[in-house]
Amino acid sequence: MSKRYSVWAGRGQIALFSLLLALPVGSESQTLPTITVERDGDTFSVRARATVAVDPRVAWETITDYEHMRDFLPNIERSRVVSRKGTRSIVEHLGQFPLFLFDIPVRIRLSITQQPYERVVARSEPGEIDGEPQTLRSFVGTYDLSVVTVDRRAGVRLEYESRFELAAPLPPIVGDLFGTAMVTKTVRNQFEAMLREMARRQAARAPIEKSQ
């Protein structure tokens, strides 16, 4: 669920992106994230959105930093890139999904396609992880990034959508309403952690740029 790496772009792409930043874009204020989760049996649909005052390149580098996601996203124990070919990567995530008084293990392999600085699309990929079956029957998710003006400087409107089906049903004790509430809480915690990491990287980057 979390998503979201290194930037594989040549100097020409960087120059083009710099030109895009100079073009007029929509003006917005930085906003708190909005999260909505809908449930249909064992299938969940998630939408998350926020506007953040960070350089678009910082936002992109954060959501595509698969190898280090365990360092800044909660409940992720391991995130590793299995293979890369062009703009496509195979990534494995292992972690825990907090649910009431117990945790549900999460094991998922994703095929991720990147459209630099604009979109990340992730789909579940078949196969076992460490000899164990995956815990999601299916998953598809997207991150969309749009360049906007936030407080008179370049920022990003970040939109995340996903739809996933559990391989095994939630325990009956959880119930429909409580299960949806817990998924919403977990998604919010991870999405807000992603935004905090963007802000941290932006703050760390500013002194370096001033010294150059």
Residue-wise pLDDT tens digits, 31-47: 779 999 999 988 999 99
Which domains can be identified in the chain, with CATH numbers? 11-211 (3.30.530.20)
- E runs forming strands in 15-125: 27-28, 34-40, 43-52, 76-85, 88-99, 102-115, 119-124
Q: What is the pLDDT of residue 23?
A: 34
H/E stretch holding 60 reads helix 56-63
pTM: 0.79
The DSSP call for residue 67 is: G
The pLDDT, as a whole number, for residue 12 is 39
What's the whole-number mean pLDDT along residues 40-61?
A: 95
